[in-house]
Amino acid sequence: MGGGAAGASAAQFARKENRSAAIHIFEASTHPEYSRCGLPYALSGEIPSFESLIEYSEEWFQRNKINLHLSTKVVDINASQKTLAFEGAEGDEKAGYDSLIFTTGASPSIPKIESVSAGDRLRKGVFLFRGMDDAKSLKEWCESRARKVLIVGAGLVGLECAEALHKLGHQITVVEYLESVLPMMIDPDMADPLLSEMIKAGIEIKTFAAVESVFGGKDVEGARIRNRNDDHSEELSCDTVILTTGQRPLTSLALAAGCALGRHGHIKVDDRCETNVPGIFAAGDCSEYKDMITKREMPVGMGSLAVKMGEIAGRNAVGGDVRLLAGFLNSRVTKLFGIEIAAVGPLSTELSAAEIKYIQSRVKGSTLPAYYPGGKDLLMKLTASREDVRLLSCQIMGKEGCGHRANVIGALISAGRSAQDLAMLETTYAPPVAPCVDVITTAAQAILIKSRRAGPSG
Amino acid sequence: MGGGAAGASAAQFARKENRSAAIHIFEASTHPEYSRCGLPYALSGEIPSFESLIEYSEEWFQRNKINLHLSTKVVDINASQKTLAFEGAEGDEKAGYDSLIFTTGASPSIPKIESVSAGDRLRKGVFLFRGMDDAKSLKEWCESRARKVLIVGAGLVGLECAEALHKLGHQITVVEYLESVLPMMIDPDMADPLLSEMIKAGIEIKTFAAVESVFGGKDVEGARIRNRNDDHSEELSCDTVILTTGQRPLTSLALAAGCALGRHGHIKVDDRCETNVPGIFAAGDCSEYKDMITKREMPVGMGSLAVKMGEIAGRNAVGGDVRLLAGFLNSRVTKLFGIEIAAVGPLSTELSAAEIKYIQSRVKGSTLPAYYPGGKDLLMKLTASREDVRLLSCQIMGKEGCGHRANVIGALISAGRSAQDLAMLETTYAPPVAPCVDVITTAAQAILIKSRRAGPSG
């Protein structure tokens, strides 16, 4: 159920695994699978049309003998009889199944802000930014005239939205409840290079602040924002509000089918992407799986994980036996205002919450050797176990070359390797491509120096 | 002995390891350490001056209390008495030592070509390209007028030289004895994208061909080139010949000191970079160490390895105990004519020679998602053990993003991981940075499909 990234990936790999299985996808919206991650770039116009985000067309599903039911909603599941009921364009029906995959995704959460809604709908001028319809409505709204936009939430979606609308010439203020931008992606002390680029670009940013209310007549005229440090409130004039404060998994059908939820209220799965109910699988934003380092469940919130889980769930649902690695690295990257920001592994606060003792190095480097023109600064933070310098996480930012460097660290983390192994790892070197001693090597050497100073028990 | 990349790195890390040790470097040339890898870019003018290639200045050595003896040659070693004799600017002297590191490097090999020499020197118009003096002479020669240049050897140095001189407007022919360009770096079937760019740029390339003779009066006027396929010879008009056919390690002093040479005639070292003579170490181009995959000795020929070995030798020579990984990956990259070419692990012929059975995938990908503008094609070849799909090597090329991708594979190879682990490895994804399913993932999936078809015993 659900034809997003996880659902389409599940169907694709189920078909690869099993040529004869009958495969059905039930999708409530009118869209076949498209890249949600691409929406900000279609909003800005960098990608010419929303339609070019469609990765699996209706024709593709037909060719692969996958029955895609658009505008169709599953309304009931009977897990003991293995049947489900659905309503849709083709009428109301009932069907049996051998296995079931929940790829129901999530819906955007709506923060508690006074007057943000009118009845059970958001008021005019207030937008969400999750699906293609949200993005299209927002684009249409913003095309009519220059807007003063308030974005609530400085996570990935909020900032990607901010950049897109800034490119289109709108005036942007971003308000973040927590102390720094991208709070689920990087530690606060790594946000500076991004913040400085955003400020240079003319974006107004308020962190550790809460949007208390939206005001105005028929149209939004402004919002009241409270500084959480000093409790001082101020009014900000704006005509558009975009809510990007996270999402809630869609789990009601899974609950009805007897599936257990995890620590974060998402459907809990094992390394086969199977729920506690045999034959029922889940993948993508509606699910949670353990973190590789903390071993605690973490909610899935990225397209890349949804696709990987879809593959595993799809294959296993039709008789395969494949498994995820022993936890997620949460490998993540974005590019905002010319700064590439990448990370793998838990945030420092997550490590502390899991009572993992760590040491960290924070080093600067360059994408190219000092003597070669055009090198770009890199800032990297590497974290290793205090006990045995096993690699735990890294965060890296600069104008380019960050995501790939994070992947190298991710590969070593996934293999349980240490800062010593990283320090000794060969990295490719050529003056126009990368320096002889890469920043990832320097970061590992710095960890080893710290570790020697601290002694093995810290 | 030898103040190149390995020597300077050894001195630097010996000082880090031991604050009181007396450290001496004997360097026969007049130059403190500089980046040899940067020479082609100083030749082309991309790097403004040869002097900017100097990474460790004389002042740096002074600050770190390292005695750098330039223009000084060690002429004899008595390993039983632990003394050495040297001649140089400061006069002839004898000195004792506790440990010794050979970082003597290599000299360019001179291929057997009729009339390439005049007496014991190369004739006028014929050049080598190893050190800064070679590069300076060549630059001066080429600055006086447009040249018709014949480059003998299409390895890394030959092609980097070809590109530099092409940028300066000279007419270039490259002749390679083996069947393809970059024969020590990539398999012949991976050379096509590079070849096509070189031909577009107007470089003439003759592979599987031998330069038999150079002819002319006082000046070089041309060369006779034999096609090794059909034995047909032809004359090529040229006024400049550059010999880039590899190098021979400088080992005579090491032999005198009782050091054993390895399979390739370089000084053989263990994972501590120590030779068979206790207290005598070697690092860089004069040495050989085992390949991680084939377990056979391979000659060291890259600056990045020289620096890593220098670190290990330097630390261990003053009382440290650090080790290289269990073999070299030979991680390598270059950028030629706009094409980045990267590889880790042995060539296919080297795997076969070591009787390692393998399966390979060859896949195309892109640096960005299909829907995002500006993606560049990538071509990747991945090799895994036929027996257990353990990763063995990869080669990848495209306009950008190849070296880093090779490093991810290198990290997994160094950890003994399989194509299954690579297929399941998370990679960072964001539309402006990298696709959701990266080419490294696709290559791993293709290996797994091949492996399933072939069955476990191939």
pLDDT of residue B456: 54
Residues 106-165 of chain B whose Cβ lies under 8 A from any Cβ of chain A: none
Sheet containing A391-398: order of strands: A332-336, A339-344, A391-398, A377-385, A358-366
Read off the pLDDT of each residue in B32-36 and give the average, rounded to a whole number.
89
Q: Three-class SS of residue B335?
A: strand
**ipTM, 2 decimals?**
0.95
- The answer to whether residue A51 scores a pLDDT higher than 50 is yes
- The answer to whether residue A447 scores a pLDDT higher than 70 is yes
Every domain range in chain A assigned CATH 3.30.390.30: 341-454
d(CA B405, CA B410): 9
Q: Two tokens at B427?
A: 């990679």
pLDDT of residue A421: 97
d(CA B107, CA B110): 9
Residues 348-407 of chain A whose Cβ lies under 8 A from any Cβ of chain B: 369-373, 401-407
Read off the pLDDT of each residue in B111-122 and give the average, rounded to a whole number.
91
- For an interface test with B, which of A312, A316, A399, A436 has the most B Cβ atoms less than 10 Å from its Cβ? A436
pLDDT of residue A456: 54
Residue whose structure tokens are 């002839």: B92
Percentage with pLDDT > 90 across chain B: 91
Every domain range in chain B assigned CATH 3.50.50.60: 5-106+247-317, 117-243, 333-454
Closest-approach residue (CA) in chain B for A54: B371
Cβ of A334 within 8 Å of Cβ of B430? The answer is: yes
From residue A354, alpha-carbon distances to A183, A443, A451 in Å are 18, 24, 21
Domain covering B333-454 in this structure, CATH number: 3.50.50.60
Question: Which pLDDT tens digit goes with each residue over A151-183?
Answer: 999 999 999 999 999 999 999 999 999 999 999
Question: Which pLDDT tens digit goes with each residue over B259-278?
Answer: 999 999 999 999 999 999 99
* Least CB–CB distance from A303: residue in B5, B414, B429: B429
Read off the pLDDT of each residue in A73-85 and give the average, rounded to a whole number.
92
Every domain range in chain A assigned CATH 3.50.50.60: 5-106+248-317, 117-243
Cβ of B436 within 8 Å of Cβ of A307? The answer is: yes
Q: Residue B395: its chain A contacts at CB < 8 A?
A: none
- A341-454: in CATH 3.40.30.10: no
- Residue-by-residue DSSP string for A267-333: EE--TTSB-SSTTEEE-GGGEEEEBTTT-SEEE---HHHHHHHHHHHHHHHTT------SSB---EE
Cβ of A425 within 8 Å of Cβ of B437? The answer is: no
Q: Residue A417: its chain B contacts at CB < 8 A?
A: 411, 414-415
- The answer to whether residue B353 scores a pLDDT higher than 90 is yes
- A53 has a chain B CB within 8 A of its CB: yes
- For an interface test with A, which of B12, B160, B428 has the most A Cβ atoms less than 10 Å from its Cβ? B428
What CATH architecture is B5-106+247-317?
A: 3-Layer(bba) Sandwich (3.50)
* Least CB–CB distance from A369: residue in B35, B404, B426: B35
CB A195 within 8 A of CB A205: yes
- Reported as a pLDDT band with limits 50, 70 and 90, residue A249 is very high
CA angle, residues B6, B7, B8, in degrees to nearest 5: 95
Cβ of A426 within 8 Å of Cβ of B52? The answer is: no
Beta strand extents in B228-270 (DSSP E only):
233-237, 240-243, 247-249, 267-268
pLDDT of residue B458: 41
d(CA A267, CA A356): 26
Shortest Cα distance, chain B CAs vs residue A381, angstroms? 17
Say which amino acid occupies B104. T
Read off the pLDDT of each residue in B92-113 and give the average, rounded to a whole number.
93
- A314 has a chain B CB within 8 A of its CB: no
Among the CATH numbers 3.50.50.60, 3.40.50.850, 1.20.810.10, 3.40.50.720, which is that of B117-243? 3.50.50.60
Closest-approach residue (CA) in chain A for B404: A404
Q: Residue B432: its chain A contacts at CB < 8 A?
A: 41, 46, 335
Supply the Cα-derived Rg of chain B in whole angstroms: 23
Bridge partners (DSSP) listed for residue B397:
B341, B379
- Residue-by-residue DSSP string for B111-170: ---BTSEETTEEPTTEEE-SSHHHHHHHHHHHHHS--EEEEE--SHHHHHHHHHHHHTT-
Cβ of A431 within 8 Å of Cβ of B5? The answer is: no
What CATH architecture is A5-106+248-317?
A: 3-Layer(bba) Sandwich (3.50)
Cβ of A425 within 8 Å of Cβ of B432? The answer is: no
- Reported as a pLDDT band with limits 50, 70 and 90, residue A3 is confident
- Reported as a pLDDT band with limits 50, 70 and 90, residue A195 is very high
